[in-house]
Amino acid sequence: MKLIQCRFSSGQRSPLLVQTGDTAPLPILVPFIYVQLKLRYRAYNTAAAHLRAIQAFYTYAKTRDLDIDEAILACHFESILVLLDGYAIWLQSGRHADNLVARIGTAATAPFPQIDTRTRDQYLRLLKQYLSWCVTRYIPRARQTSTSLAKIELAFADVADVVERRFEAHIINVRPDRTRYRSLTDTQLQILRTLIRPGSAKNPFHERRQLRNWLMIELLLETGIRRGELLKLHSTDINDGSQHAYVSINDREHDPGDPRAEEPALKTRGRTLGISAQLYEVYERYIQSERRPVRKGKPMKVTLVDINQALGSDDARASIFSRRSLTESDGTPIRLTSHQPRHWRNTIYHLTGMSNVQQALALGRKRLDQNVYYQHTSIEEDTAAQHGFLAFSSHHERIDFLHAGIREKRIQGALTDSYHALLSDRGTTTAEAFLTVHATALHVTPFGGCIHDFSQAPCPKHLQCWNGCSHLHLMGTPSERSNLKKQAKNLTKAISSMRKSGAGEAGSDVWLADQESKLNNLKSVLARDSNVGVQRVFPNGHPMTIADTDKRYTCPDFQIQKRSFSNWQ
């Protein structure tokens, strides 16, 4: 039997397990039904992985003179589970376990590629899912003539329990190998960017492909997108927005217009990611002047194999590193994969303090617990990244710090004013009750702390803290001042660049005025004494909107104030 790809006119692909040797091979029945009913809406590669595990078990069972389809349809699961012990050994060794004392001659072995322990575990888990589904589907159908429904349920429970226990005895649960993919080192990143620079004497690519390949690798490094997402990008997916350039990641798993025989594997969640203005400018030049989408009547599209071979994944082919005699520090060949920039980008996100939710959103993940496998940091790096931050061991410790600051007037604002007014007018009990109910939020960032409660209302400044937000406080941590200096330096460069390149552009004066206001606020804070502990940055604050108190509109359950946006800051 073999695994083939069936492609429909709509572009949808479906893996099929078929018999070999027939002129028109027919799909094997039960696996075909399993894919159509259970895996119909899963990614192609996911369904193919299930079928590969099923194919391996069917191949082994054939050497034992057992037709798995017939056994399943007859509900003879006992005869199937008897094979499990030998199958688990055969997966890794290719040898049969017959419990024989001795054998004359060489034992016949079924050809099966060597796999590691993690792959073996995966094969067993997928086979367990398949057999559990078969138990659920076929045992009740086979015993519909039984006089007792209880007997049917008991038989089903017995077989399902046996399947679960027999498989758990063989699955080792090897911990995921986190070294399989690793983040790029600084040396590797420097070598890679030196080699791929268009026009470089050491660039290994053909002159016609240098700019295209540079764009692809820089997109991987700058956004951390998956390789399948990169290979499915269209020229219309990269655009220049009103504020910054961006790339749109779209789900094109089944694209009827894709001419590649092997369509790139795609696992994605649609999202939009910002890219640098410099990268967008080079991309525009490439699209407008140098791109050749068709040559000799054939579309020219890059495959995943092309990328990985150039990065050194195939020892039989020279990589861009081996052609220039570049190696690792210990002399071993440099071998990278197209997936490593994604790990590197995630590591950078982690070191800069992005939350797990933000990392998952930026990288298109469904589950937050997957982030940890992409965060390749040592204990020393994690410690250095957090050094100087105001850290709390629990939410209660954070709130206690906030309450103490309000009581001692180190943290200022409407909450502090209300607390002390209640303290003088109504006593400690009422004032402390007010703190418990209303002072429930403190967000510590590398640039200060915010006391706004996001559970009550969204940020009134749209996260633009340095536009005069009254909630912003300096926390007095060692790294806070250095972070503010870096921010001011970067902002100065951005303003200088905008003055040169944005002259005459519509809206550039508004952007410049906004950034200059932020820069002035940063400079005023840097001029203050940093040894006074917690202090409020903008005592008076500057509201984003100013309410028109003369006009009110009444609704059944609440009132809405009409606001004037004439004084938008």
Go through 511-542 and write b for each residue having 16 or more CB atoms within 10 A of its CB, e for each that does not. Answer: eeeebeebbebbeebeeeeeeeebbbbbeebe
Specify whether the CB–CB gap between 375 and 350 falls below 8 A.
yes
| Bridge partners, residue 6, by sequence | 14
> Can you tell me whether residue 137 is helix, strand or coil?
helix
Q: Would you write out the chain's pLDDT as a tens digit for each of its 569 residues?
A: 888 888 777 767 788 888 877 666 788 899 999 988 888 878 888 888 899 999 999 988 888 889 999 888 888 888 888 888 888 888 877 665 555 444 455 555 545 566 777 788 888 888 888 988 888 887 765 444 444 444 445 444 566 666 777 777 666 665 555 555 577 888 888 888 888 888 888 888 888 788 888 988 999 888 888 888 888 888 778 888 777 888 888 877 666 667 666 666 666 677 888 888 888 888 887 876 666 554 444 455 666 777 888 888 877 778 888 888 888 888 888 988 888 888 988 888 887 777 888 888 888 888 888 888 888 877 566 655 555 455 555 666 767 777 888 888 777 777 788 888 888 888 888 888 877 777 777 777 777 788 777 767 777 777 788 888 888 888 776 677 888 888 888 888 888 887 877 776 777 788 888 888 888 888 888 888 766 667 778 877 665 555 555 555 444 443 333 333 333 33
Q: How far is CA 167 from CA 78, 85, 97, 130, 451, in A?
A: 13, 9, 17, 12, 52
Structure tokens belonging to residue 27: 């799909």
Separation between Cα atoms, residue 252 and residue 270, nearest integer Å: 10
**Backbone phi and psi for residue 111, each to the nearest 5 degrees, phi listed first:** -65, 125
Q: What is the pTM of this model?
A: 0.40
Beginning with the edge strand found earlier in the chain, give each strand of the sheet holding 448-450 in spatial order. Answer: 443-445, 448-450, 472-474, 535-536
> Can you tell me whether residue 553 is helix, strand or coil?
strand
Separation between Cα atoms, residue 224 and residue 275, nearest integer Å: 11
Instruction: Name the fold adopted by 186-348.
Output: hpI Integrase; Chain A (1.10.443)
469: Cβ contacts below 8 Å, ≥ 6 apart: 450, 452, 460, 461, 537, 538, 541, 542
Give the orientation angle of helix 44-63 with respect to helix 117-142, to 10 degrees: 80
pLDDT at 111: 55
Residue 344: name the closest of 219, 432, 227, 221 by CA: 221
pLDDT at 556: 40
Structure tokens belonging to residue 246: 């961006």
Separation between Cα atoms, residue 48 and residue 5, nearest integer Å: 9
pLDDT at 51: 92
What is the DSSP annotation of 453-486?
-TTTS--TTTT-TTTT-TTEEE---HHHHHHHHH
Q: Which residue ranges make up each domain of the chain?
A: 2-168, 186-348, 395-536
